[in-house]
């Protein structure tokens, strides 16, 4: 797909690689394809010259940059879409070439922007000059061949992930199949085999990854950053160190609640599997949590459901199946929520051009993403949707990206982006908080009745298994990358540092010792896909801030978790006004426009989950919570 921060027009994947190769064992043919793609020519576009070093020159330079970026990003977007929905030798070759060209243009423009550092220019021009420098995810250094090599590597990495398969019970299986089994398996031998099996796709990435880090760091230092991680942390309208401290502060707000959840879940897993599989103290075994990266735990609700008090009267996946939902109906239902807020219907081309289910006849990138191909109207999603609770959430998430893109389409090119990347991830999640309420599910006919108070704890526990469990994962992925980019973690330490972060932040351990050549980070999409991840951590805070503000605007006085803004066009109009701002102003202004607050604030998370936290504290009484690092 289009590089998200890079083109300011797409979200989720940043550098999209290509390949038609299986990963554990590359066929000779596919190895040849990957090597051939490495020979893509490296021709840099001409430098923009002739802009005087004054305010008028800066304004003209920025206008010219926007025209060039917009044109090339559309071409790149169409090629990237073609590659992501049909991985072949040729689409891979084309994408690697256009990505190199795009990176070269970006780097050239970022360097050009620096010429106006000491010139007094209008505020919006200054913001655009800064964004030219900050909007690159992986910068290439300014020497011949570097952008080409970087593009070849990112292409290979992403491809290896997208086409990854491993042998399980006598046949080659994909990530979707493995994930589906892991979600429902309650056999620790099986969950371990699936967890370890998927991680056999990534050792082959490790050398490429190390080389990529070296090149990108060279590029980042040329642009005046300490390293690529420092560059990523600079995209939040504040000092990069202050941003890192801000994420620490937010995590400290949520951590006691996570530890409470961890303690409760560990105890239930211990009851279920016994001491030999899951001890009653210490970290949790990662493969028992129903998700390939243990990032959302909702799939094991049945294992941890309360044994006293209320029970949950419904299972979302079962409800979707019983109501004959298919993938398209899930997307139409998602659209229906946005339309109820007064937002426009999706364009016809969305339905004609999106990839909603996995095509059976070719290799594709299945990780869900939302695209804005022409920076105007050609918005699409790319998913391999299955009819289940997880994808019901994901559909709302992806459409949030598309509705944001649609809202800011009249902004100038460099402002067509989220107020920060966390905002982009939070839009659909905010809508999802209403769309998962029993009240709404009842309104659209998925639930026959609205469960009463007795289901409060079961409902909140389900939500916490996804939302609270996610937070330390949302933090640890980039904590690992920050250490890799700044050199604290050497290539030889890549895997141990990843496991150490799992333990430190999530309190998790792999089901067994990891092999010497393991590269577990490579088995998580956003690492080979080079998508910064702190955005999801922020989104898990922002969505509750948006939800609390929206419910206040709606005059809701009941518990936050029961509030749905379905059908509320006033809230929709105010939300859209924030979205229309795009990236034109520092993010606190966008936050203020909708919530009245200018800060990141995890207190909305605490408000939403307050009854559950009290309940968990009572459940954990007498237990020895936490884990040693
Ligand atoms: O990657 C995604 C979206 C696309 S932006 C499906 N998410 C993160 C993940 O899957 O790891 C959404 C939640 C976290
Ligand atoms: Zn997303």
pLDDT in tens, 290-344: 999 999 999 999 999 999 877 888 999 999 999 999 999 999 999 999 999 999 9
pLDDT at 43: 39
| pLDDT value of position 312 | 85
SS (H, E, C) 194-213: HHHHHHHHCHHHHHHHHHHH
**Ligand 1 and 292: CB distance under 6 A:** no
In ligand 1, which atom is closest to the CA atom of 293? 11
Task: Tell how far the Cα of 367 is from the centroid of ligand 1, in angstroms.
Answer: 8
* Strand, coil or helix: 446: coil
Ligand 1 mean position, distance from CA 221 (Å): 29
Active-site annotation holds for 540: no
Mean pLDDT of the chain: 92
Angle at which helices 206-222 and 456-485 cross, to 10°: 70
Q: Cα–Cα distance between 148 and 98 in angstroms, integer?
A: 9
- What is the CA angle 493-496-502, rounded to 5? 135
Which residue is listed with tokens 């869900």? 368
pLDDT > 90: what percent of the chain?
90
The answer to whether residues 598 and 585 touch, using CB atoms and an 8 Å cutoff, is no
Distance between CA atoms of residues 20 and 27, nearest Å: 10
**Does ligand 1 come within 6 angstroms of the Cβ of 121?**
no
Using one digit for the tens of pLDDT, what is the confidence trace for 500-554? 999 999 999 999 999 999 999 999 999 999 999 999 999 999 999 999 999 999 9
In the numeric block, the tokens 């066929």 are attached to: 27
85, 359 contact by CB (below 8 A): yes
11: confidence class by pLDDT, cuts 50, 70, 90: low
Cα dihedral 309, 312, 313, 314, rounded to 10, equals: 180
Q: Is the CB of 536 under 6 A from ligand 1?
A: yes
Residue 359's CB is within 10 A of a number of other CB atoms, namely: 11
482 CA to middle of ligand 1, Å?
19
**Catalytic pick among 218, 386, 398, 455:** 398
Q: Catalytic annotation on 526?
A: yes
User: Cα–Cα distances in Å, from 42 out to 27, 38, 147, 150?
Assistant: 27, 11, 7, 11
- Give the integer Cα–Cα distance in Å for 582 and 472: 28
Ligand 1 centre to CA of 116 (Å) is 37
Q: Give 435-461 pLDDT, tens digit per residue.
A: 999 999 999 999 999 999 889 999 999
Q: Is 252 a catalytic residue?
A: no
Q: Is the CB of 394 under 6 A from ligand 1?
A: yes
- Name 284's Cβ contacts closer than 8 Å, sequence gap at least 6: 262, 265, 266, 269, 278, 294, 507, 508, 509
The residue nearest atom 6 of ligand 1, judged by CA position, is: 368
Q: What is the pLDDT of residues 403-438, one digit of tens each?
A: 999 999 999 999 999 999 999 999 999 999 999 999
Indicate if the pLDDT at residue 5 is higher than 70: no
Q: Is the pLDDT of residue 1 over 60?
A: no
Residue appearing with tokens 């008090």:
309
Residue-level pLDDT at 334: 98
Averaged pLDDT for residues 28-51? 43
Q: What is the largest CA-CA distance in the chain?
A: 75
Task: Identify the residue with better confidence: 605 or 47.
Answer: 605
Total-model pTM: 0.94
Take atom 13 of ligand 1 and give the residue whose Cα is closest: 536
**pLDDT tens-place string over residues 111-129:** 999 999 999 999 999 999 9
Q: Which residues contact 324 (CB under 8 A, 6 or more apart)?
A: none
For residue 310, the model assigns a pLDDT of: 75
Q: Is the dihedral of CA 350, 351, 353, 354 positive or negative?
A: positive
């Amino acid at each position: 797909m289009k590089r998200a921060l890079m083109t300011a027009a797409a979200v989720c994947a940043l550098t999209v690689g290509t390949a038609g190769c299986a990963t554990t064992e590359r066929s000779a043919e596919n190895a040849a394809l990957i090597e051939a793609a490495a020979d893509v020519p490296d021709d840099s576009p001409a430098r923009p010259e002739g802009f005087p070093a004054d305010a008028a020159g800066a304004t003209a330079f920025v206008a010219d940059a926007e025209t060039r970026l917009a044109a090339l990003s559309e071409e790149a977007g169409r090629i990237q879409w073609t590659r992501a929905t049909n991985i072949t030798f040729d689409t891979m070759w084309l994408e690697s070439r256009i990505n190199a060209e795009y990176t070269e243009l970006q780097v050239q423009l970022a360097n050009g922007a620096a010429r106006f550092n000491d010139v007094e220019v209008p505020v919006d021009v200054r913001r655009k000059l800064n964004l030219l420098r900050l909007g690159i995810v992986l910068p290439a250094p300014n020497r011949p061949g570097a952008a080409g090599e970087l593009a070849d590597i990112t292409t290979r990495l992403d491809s290896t992930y997208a086409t990854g398969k491993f042998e399980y019970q006598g046949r080659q299986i994909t990530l979707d199949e493995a994930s589906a089994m892991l979600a429902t398996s309650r056999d620790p031998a099986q969950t371990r085999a699936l967890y370890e099996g998927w991680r056999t796709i990534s050792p082959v990435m490790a050398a490429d990854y190390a080389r990529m880090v070296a090149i990108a760091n060279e590029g980042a230092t040329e642009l005046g950053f300490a390293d690529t991680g420092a560059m990523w942390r600079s995209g939040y309208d504040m000092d990069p160190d202050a941003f890192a401290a801000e994420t620490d502060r937010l995590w400290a707000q949520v951590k006691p609640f996570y530890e409470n959840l961890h303690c409760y879940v560990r105890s239930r897993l211990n009851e279920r599997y016994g001491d030999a599989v899951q001890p009653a103290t210490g970290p949790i075994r990662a493969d028992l949590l129903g998700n390939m990266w243990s990032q959302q735990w909702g799939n094991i609700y049945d294992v941890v459901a309360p044994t006293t008090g209320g029970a949950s009267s419904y299972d979302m996946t079962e409800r979707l199946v019983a109501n004959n939902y298919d993938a398209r109906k899930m997307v139409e239902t998602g659209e229906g929520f946005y339309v109820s807020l007064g937002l426009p219907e999706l364009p016809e081309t969305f339905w004609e051009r999106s990839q909603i289910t996995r095509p059976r006849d070719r290799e594709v990138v299945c990780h869900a993403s939302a695209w804005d191909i022409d920076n105007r109207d050609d918005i699409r999603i790319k998913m391999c949707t299955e009819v289940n609770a997880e994808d019901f959430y994901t559909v709302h998430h992806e459409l949030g990206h598309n509705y944001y893109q649609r809202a800011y389409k009249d902004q100038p090119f460099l402002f067509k982006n989220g107020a920060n990347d966390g905002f982009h991830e939070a839009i659909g999640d905010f809508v999802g908080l209403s769309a998962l309420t029993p009240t709404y599910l009842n309104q659209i006919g998925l639930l026959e009745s609205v469960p009463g108070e007795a289901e409060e704890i079961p409902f909140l526990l389900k939500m916490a298994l996804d939302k609270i469990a996610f937070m330390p994962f949302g933090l640890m992925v980039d904590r690992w990358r920050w250490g890799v980019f700044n050199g604290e973690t050497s290539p030889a330490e890549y895997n141990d540092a990843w496991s150490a972060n799992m333990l430190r932040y999530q309190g998790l351990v792999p089901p067994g010792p990891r092999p010497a050549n393991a590269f577990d980070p490579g088995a998580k999409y956003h690492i080979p896909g080079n998508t910064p991840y702190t955005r999801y951590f922020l989104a898990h805070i922002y969505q509750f801030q948006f939800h609390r503000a929206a419910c206040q605007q709606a005059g809701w006085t009941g518990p936050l978790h029961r509030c749905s803004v379905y059908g509320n066009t006033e809230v929709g109009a105010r939300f859209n006004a924030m979205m229309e701002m795009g990236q034109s102003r520092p993010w606190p202004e966008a936050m203020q426009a909708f919530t009245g607050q200018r800060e990141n604030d995890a207190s909305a998370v605490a408000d939403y989950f307050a009854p559950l936290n009290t309940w968990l504290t009572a459940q954990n009484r007498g237990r020895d919570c936490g884990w040693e690092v």
